[in-house]
A and B are shown apart, each in its own frame.
Chain A
Amino acid sequence: MRLETLNDAAKPAVRGEAPARWLSRALFSDASAAYAFVAPAFFLLLFLVAYPFVLSLWFSLSDARVGETGNFVGLDNFRRLLGSSIFIQTLQNSMVFTAAALGLKTVLGMALALLLFRVARFKRLIRGAVLLPFIVPTALSTLVWWWMFEPLYSVVNWTLKSLHIVNKDIPWLSDPYLAMFTVVLVNTWRGLPFFAITILAGLVAIPRELYEAAESDGAGPVSRFWHITVPLLKPVLGVVILFSAIFTLADFNIVYILTKGGPMNMTHLFATYSFALGLQSGQISQGAAVSLFLFPILLIVVFTQLRMVRRATTYE
């Protein structure tokens, strides 16, 4: 306040510009400035996220096909989906895929984070190497996995045969159960760095004193892990798992490239099945209905995360 009057007194010549200044004040008052700044992002998200979402709802309630707007048919699409064995299979695949991949990523991610935390020599090199699968384009790295599980020249089979673990080729991608295993494996490969690095960041934030105190009380490494590390990591673990749950469930690239949803629809997820229905057979309405099954899970994650964020801030 004092500074302002000083300023005004020091620059009497500026007084003539008072109306212009008033205008710029009004224009750049906090609220109007805020709206001006936020507007481009707001309109982008309105037209290219909110509007498509509403469109998606409409498609799912109509009999639209590619190029036709279609008529309102109520919940017909959903009813038909729930009666279709392929969709039930997709639902089941999605649950198996997400649960297995999340489980693997959590357990291995925790193990890797605990190891990385203690690594002192070659720290950057090892962290850099471990993070690489997350950075490389998934669509391209999945191609090499495809090649590694190729029926005739699979390097995995070659190794297993050379070690005399098996004596004939394992059909990694043509056997329905093994195909599910393979897509889970590739998803784990790609997602593990995210878990490890984020859990590592959580580990670093735990105060060392707690461990020292526990150690002087005679707590061993195992009990320190269960009584200090795990409880204090819970918020970070929660966020990572929820976050990854959405993107694992919504995975498209890995399944589309490795199996296209086959064999016998045993690896179809919502995204690939919705792609097959909506674009390959032109049934946009059915495709939209399938992809909308991702939405409730999205909502659950958003609610839980927001609640966790709020609890964290009020706790502070």
Chain B
Amino acid sequence: MSSLGRWTRRSRPLFTLYVPVMPFVLFALFPLYFMVVTSFKKNAELYDVNAVPFLIGRGVTFGHYELLSKETLFWSWFLNSLMVSLAATVISVVLGVLAAYPLARLKFPGATSFGVAIFVTYLVPPSLLFLPLSTVVARLGLSDSLWALVVTYPTFLVPFCTWLLMGYFRTVPKEIEECAMLDGCNRLQTMLRILLPVAVPGVICAALFAFTLSWNEFLYALVFVSPAELKTMTVGVFSELIRGDIYYWGGLMAGACIGSLPIVVAYVFFLDYYVSGLTAGAVK
């Protein structure tokens, strides 16, 4: 009786918690699993209506990855994405730190309205402004160059970084800064030497999110850059692996796998930063 009681007590969370959570986990992971499986499957099996689609039954192939490397500009797209994302991230984090500091700490005329402006631009979806922005990009002579993306990505990254960092800066006690000021540091020195080292987690979080958002960006990259060799990864895979009516599904999935990999790796290492960044926008 007592052992049965213990058993039911122990297995209760299994049925009320872990069993109900499973469908959610499956729903989240299945498409990603299927992406990986498809990318390693031979075409003969891929396009066999009777084959079980969930598993690889007739041997693993790297053919789709080969096709990607040899017959498309995949690695150029990868490199383009990397360069654009790194550049946009550096610019946005620097501008974000600079803007967040006075907004979080200093009193100056216009502070509130600039704070509101940052908040509003934070909420502006890229699909609201891509048409006029393409005109601006053309007038600046940046169409069909990666600079178009380096310049425009900060428009949604800077508000995000500023908003996130404001929250972090506010949690640092004012006193340590005042001590530094009394020792003769100016505002810039105080920020760089005192506040920034304390706010490192916030800066990492902002950088991670900025990189992820740039890496994942699709609309601006689709609109502002059209030469095949200058495309970013998200656009390249989508637009160059579908030729007319021919869909290279294996290649598409292989591209999606490699394209997601850097973000997934970063995510595995910095899960907690991602979680805190995700909730910062809404909860703080």
Contacts and interface: CB of A to CB of B under 8 A. Distances in A.
Interface of A: 3-4, 7, 24, 27-28, 30-31, 33-35, 37-38, 40-42, 44-45, 47-49, 51-53, 55-56, 59, 108, 112, 115-116, 118-120, 124, 126-141, 143-145, 147-148, 150, 152-153, 155, 158, 189, 192-194, 197-198, 201-202, 205, 236, 239-240, 243, 246-247, 249-253, 257, 270-271, 274-275, 278-279, 284, 287-288, 291-292, 294-295, 298, 301-302, 305-306
B32 A53 contact: no
A137 B101 CA distance: 31
Interface in B164-197: 182-184, 186-188, 191
A140 B256 contact: yes
B239 to A, nearest CB: 10
Given A137-B234, A243-B123, A48 B155 contact: yes
A201 B281 CA distance: 12
Interface string B233-251: 1110110000000010100
A44 B154 contact: yes
Nearest to B120: A302
Contacts of B215: 137
Given A48-B151, A126-B25, A202-B283, A28 B264 contact: no
B99 interface: yes
B125 to A, nearest CB: 3
A134 B271 CA distance: 12
Q: DSSP majority for the A interface? A: helix
Contact of B182 (A7, A52, A155, A274): A7
A306 B126 CA distance: 21
Interface stretch (B1-9, B62-70, B107-115, B199-207): B107-115
22 contacts: A28-B188, A37-B102, A40-B95, A41-B162, A45-B159, A47-B136, A49-B155, A55-B135, A124-B271, A131-B278, A133-B28, A135-B263, A136-B260, A144-B256, A150-B249, A192-B27, A239-B282, A243-B282, A252-B219, A279-B134, A279-B223, A294-B128
A44 B131 CA distance: 18
B121 A56 contact: no
Interface of B: 13, 17-18, 20-21, 24-25, 27-29, 31-32, 34-35, 38, 46-47, 49, 53-54, 94-96, 98-99, 101-103, 106-109, 111, 114, 116-121, 123-136, 151-152, 154-155, 158-159, 162, 182-184, 186-188, 191, 212, 215-216, 218-219, 223, 233-235, 237-238, 247, 249, 252-253, 255-256, 259-260, 263-264, 267-268, 271, 274-275, 278-279, 281-283
Given A250-B125, A274-B131, A28 B187 contact: yes
A155 B264 contact: no
B216 A291 contact: no
B53 A158 contact: yes
A80 to B, nearest CB: 17
Given A35-B108, A147-B253, A153-B46, A135 B135 contact: no
Nearest to A290: B131
Contacts of A33: 102, 106, 186-188
Contacts, number: 292
Which 10 interchain pairs have the tightest Cβ spacing? A250-B125, A271-B127, A34-B102, A55-B132, A52-B132, A41-B99, A140-B256, A28-B186, A137-B216, A34-B108
B17 A118 contact: yes
A284 B116 CA distance: 29
Contacts of B120: 298, 302
Given A49-B129, A153-B49, A250-B126, 13 more contacts: A31-B109, A34-B108, A38-B99, A48-B151, A119-B17, A128-B271, A131-B271, A137-B216, A144-B32, A240-B282, A253-B218, A274-B127, A279-B134
